[in-house]
């Protein structure tokens, strides 16, 4: 017998976040021959229905309350709990994003169920899903299952492939009514501090700078390389602490955890706390003056040299290749 899995779809800047499509693929895997329902919140939520259906949702529920226009902990917690109550799913999945990390434990705690966070892979043991998640800062992986009751899990971006778009899938959309009350937070303005147009958490290529970039200006060659590659720019805490860039770019144990296809570390020594955020990247390229730098131990390709010479050379070569 299949399961009914609910996916909380997340949007950003008028587009669905890719991790929501990845969560739908995960939900399909868990649901067997059951149903996958995606929920989208906010007055504009209906515009995302087609994409969600085409990527594997059987049904989309839209919750159009004005109070859900911007994410707030209270608003999303209340709305999601009411959607869960109305739909009574067997499982709830969402992205392991700032929002997912914020709302999922509150939902699990309120419902008195377990939460499996930061899932990187799923397999089935009969009909029971087995979730893989990193532990000890990514040095090992644990396999977890929830035997009975509601499954609540967050999916790490860039690990589970979204399903191919299928335009022939039939749309089923339902509007749900929820009551949002006693909001303790009002979002007046959203100030974006991202690393550019590409979302760091979901980027397939990241060019990252450390204290070796030496100044805020030193990041310029990294941004130029990122532009050519369609990459996001990240940073070590060393670079953030030195004031070379915003903390929104920080990757590592106390920053963002990323799993891009390609991670280019420039002037980063490779401290354990930095590795915790990027060592599961598929291919790691390190550029460092010091041949003994720890980063070379996790790198697939190492370039011993001055980043201010190497990075512009790479940019020029990629420009030619990609022209």
Binding-site ranges for ligand FAD (CB under 6 A) = 210-212, 236-239, 250, 252-255, 267-269, 271, 273-274, 277, 287-290, 293, 306-308
Compare residues 29 and 269 and give the one whose CB is closer to ligand FAD.
Answer: 269
Q: Report residue 220 CA to chain centroid gap.
A: 26
Compare residues 17 and 211 and give the one whose CB is closer to ligand FAD.
Answer: 211
Compare residues 103 and 278 and give the one whose CB is closer to ligand FAD.
Answer: 278
CA gyration radius for the chain? 21
Q: How far is the CB of 276 from ligand FAD (least distance, A)?
A: 7
Compare residues 173 and 242 and give the one whose CB is closer to ligand FAD.
Answer: 242
Are the C-beta atoms of 221 and 308 separated by less than 8 Å? yes
Compare residues 59 and 274 and give the one whose CB is closer to ligand FAD.
Answer: 274
The three state secondary structure string of 135-204 is: ECCCCEEEEECCCCCCEEEEECCCCCCCCCCCCCCCCCEEECCCCCCCCCCCCCCCCCCCCCCCCHHHCC
The annotation status of 270 as a binding-site residue, yes or no, is yes
Which pair of tokens denotes residue 158?
Answer: 């860039």
Q: How far apart are CA 213 and CA 205, in angstroms?
A: 19
The annotation status of 210 as a binding-site residue, yes or no, is no
The annotation status of 274 as a binding-site residue, yes or no, is yes
Residues 6+ apart with CB under 8 A from 96: 19, 117, 118, 119, 154, 155, 156, 157
The annotation status of 82 as a binding-site residue, yes or no, is no
Which pair of tokens denotes residue 240?
Answer: 């953030």
The annotation status of 271 as a binding-site residue, yes or no, is yes
How many Cα neighbours within 13 Å face the side chain of 106?
15
Q: How far is the CB of 140 from ligand FAD (least distance, A)?
A: 19
Are the C-beta atoms of 37 and 20 separated by less than 8 Å? no
The annotation status of 95 as a binding-site residue, yes or no, is no
Q: How far is the CB of 7 from ligand FAD (least distance, A)?
A: 29
Give phi and psi for 139, each to the nearest 5. -80, -20
Helix axes 98-111, 73-87, angle to 10 degrees: 50
Q: How far is the CB of 294 from ligand FAD (least distance, A)?
A: 8
Q: How far is the CB of 166 from ligand FAD (least distance, A)?
A: 39
The annotation status of 273 as a binding-site residue, yes or no, is yes
Compare residues 107 and 222 and give the one whose CB is closer to ligand FAD.
Answer: 222
Q: How far is the CB of 73 from ligand FAD (least distance, A)?
A: 23
The annotation status of 267 as a binding-site residue, yes or no, is yes
Annotated binding-site members: 211, 236-237, 250-254, 267-274, 288
Annotated binding-site members for FAD: 211, 236-237, 250-254, 267-274, 288
């Amino acid at each position: 017998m299949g399961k009914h899995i609910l996916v909380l779809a997340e949007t950003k800047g008028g587009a669905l976040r890719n991790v929501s499509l990845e969560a739908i693929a995960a939900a399909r895997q868990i649901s067997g021959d059951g149903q996958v329902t995606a929920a989208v919140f906010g007055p504009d939520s209906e515009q995302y229905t087609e994409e969600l259906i085409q990527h594997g949702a059987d049904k989309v529920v839209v919750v159009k309350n004005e109070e859900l226009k911007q994410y707030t902990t209270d608003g999303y917690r209340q709305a999601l709990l009411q959607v869960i109550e109305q739909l009574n799913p067997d499982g709830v999945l969402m992205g392991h994003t700032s929002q997912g990390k914020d709302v999922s434990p509150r939902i699990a705690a309120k419902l008195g169920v377990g939460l499996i966070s930061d899932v990187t892979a799923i397999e089935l043991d009969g009909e029971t899903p087995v979730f893989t998640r990193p532990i000890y800062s990514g040095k090992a992986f644990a396999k977890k299952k929830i035997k009975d009751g509601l499954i609540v899990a967050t999916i790490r971006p860039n690990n589970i492939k979204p399903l191919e778009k299928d335009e022939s899938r039939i749309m089923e959309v339902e509007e749900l009514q929820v009551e949002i009350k006693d909001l303790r937070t009002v979002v007046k303005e959203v100030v974006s501090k991202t690393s550019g147009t590409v979302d760091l958490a979901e980027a397939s290529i990241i060019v990252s700078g450390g204290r070796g970039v030496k100044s805020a200006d030193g990041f310029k060659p990294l941004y130029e390389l990122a532009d050519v590659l369609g990459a996001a720019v990240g940073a070590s805490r060393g670079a953030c602490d030195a004031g070379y860039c915003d903390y929104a770019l920080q990757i590592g144990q106390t920053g963002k955890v990323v799993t891009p296809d390609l991670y280019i570390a420039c002037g980063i020594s490779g401290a354990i706390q930095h590795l915790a955020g990027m060592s599961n990247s598929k291919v790691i390229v390190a550029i460092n003056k010091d041949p003994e730098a720890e980063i070379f131990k996790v790198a697939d390709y190492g370039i011993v040299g001055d980043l201010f010479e190497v990075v512009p050379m790479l940019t020029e070569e990629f420009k030619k290749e990609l022209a």
